[in-house]
Amino acid sequence: MAGGKMSPRQKMINMMYLVLMALLALNVSKEILKSFYLFEKSFYSAAENIDSKNNSTIKALEASMEKNAAKTKPYMERAKGVQKATNDFIAYVDGIGKMVEEWYGGRDPETGALVSPDQMEDHALYFTVKDDGAKGKEFMNKINEARENILKYLKPDAGLSDSTNITDLTEYKAALAASQLHAMDDKSGVSGVGWIEENLEHNPAAGLMALLARIKNDAKTTESDALDRLALRIDATDYKFDKLEAKVLAKSNYVMEGENYEADILLVASNSKGQPNITVGDTDIDVDGGVGKYTQRASGVGIKTFAGKIVVDGPEGPKEFPFENEFTVFKPAATIAATEMNLLYKGIDNPMSISVPGFAASEVKISAPGLNLQSLGGGKYNAKVPASTSKEVTITASITRDGKTKTVGSSKFRVRSLPQPTAQLGGIPNDGLPKGKSAVGAQTTIIASMGAGFAYNLNYRVTGFKMIMAYKRKPPVIKSSGSGTLTGEMQSLMRSAQSGDRILLEEIRATEAKYGFSANLSPIIITIR
Residue 3: inside a domain:
no
Q: What is the pLDDT of residue 1?
A: 43
What digits encode the pLDDT tens for the residues 203-218?
Answer: 888 888 888 888 888 9
Instruction: Print the domain residue range for 373.
Output: 335-416
Highest mean pLDDT, choosing among 61-65, 244-248, 319-323, 475-479: 475-479
Residue 132: inside a domain:
yes
Judge if 349 and 308 occupy the same domain: no
Q: Last residue of a domain, which of 234, 267, 282? A: 234
Angle at 180 between CA 176 and CA 183, to 5 degrees: 100
Residue 123: inside a domain:
yes
Judge if 264 and 403 occupy the same domain: no
Does residue 398 carry a pLDDT above 70? yes
Residue 80: inside a domain:
yes
Judge if 123 and 268 occupy the same domain: no
What digits encode the pLDDT tens for the residues 368-397?
Answer: 888 888 888 878 899 999 888 878 888 999
Q: What is the pLDDT of residue 21?
A: 45
Judge if 292 and 344 occupy the same domain: no
Judge if 295 and 376 occupy the same domain: no
Residue 2: inside a domain:
no
Judge if 125 and 268 occupy the same domain: no
Better-scored residue on pLDDT, 259 or 331: 331
Residue 156: inside a domain:
yes
- DSSP for 54-100 reads HHHHHHHHHHHHHH-HHHHHHHHHHHHHHHHHHHHHHHHHHHHHHHH
The stretch 331-351 carries a mean pLDDT of 72
Residue 303: inside a domain:
yes
Does residue 335 carry a pLDDT above 70? no
| Domain CATH code at residue 402 | 2.60.40.60
Better-scored residue on pLDDT, 315 or 135: 135
Average pLDDT, the chain: 81
Residue 288: inside a domain:
yes
What digits encode the pLDDT tens for the residues 59-82?
Answer: 988 888 888 888 888 888 989 999
Highest mean pLDDT, choosing among 4-18, 109-123, 320-334: 109-123
Highest mean pLDDT, choosing among 59-63, 130-134, 303-307: 59-63
Judge if 431 and 369 occupy the same domain: no
Q: Last residue of a domain, which of 184, 203, 234? A: 234
The stretch 105-109 carries a mean pLDDT of 86
Total domains, the chain = 4
Q: What is the pLDDT of residue 473?
A: 86
Q: What is the pLDDT of residue 447?
A: 92
Judge if 156 and 88 occupy the same domain: yes
Judge if 426 and 412 occupy the same domain: no
Q: Last residue of a domain, which of 234, 251, 283? A: 234
Does residue 273 carry a pLDDT above 50? yes
Residues contacting 218, CB < 8 A, separation 6+ = 179, 180, 181
What pairing do the DSSP bridges indicate for beta strands 518-521 and 477-481? unpaired
- DSSP for 25-66 reads HTT-HHHHHHHHHHHHHHHHHHHHHHHHHHHHHHHHHHHHHH
Judge if 379 and 497 occupy the same domain: no
Angle at 82 between CA 76 and CA 84, to 5 degrees: 105
Q: Which residues pair with 394 in a beta bridge?
A: 412
Q: What is the pLDDT of residue 239?
A: 54
Q: What is the pLDDT of residue 448?
A: 92
pTM to 2 decimal places: 0.44
The stretch 507-511 carries a mean pLDDT of 94
Judge if 224 and 257 occupy the same domain: no
The stretch 459-481 carries a mean pLDDT of 92
Judge if 208 and 107 occupy the same domain: yes
Q: What is the pLDDT of residue 355?
A: 78
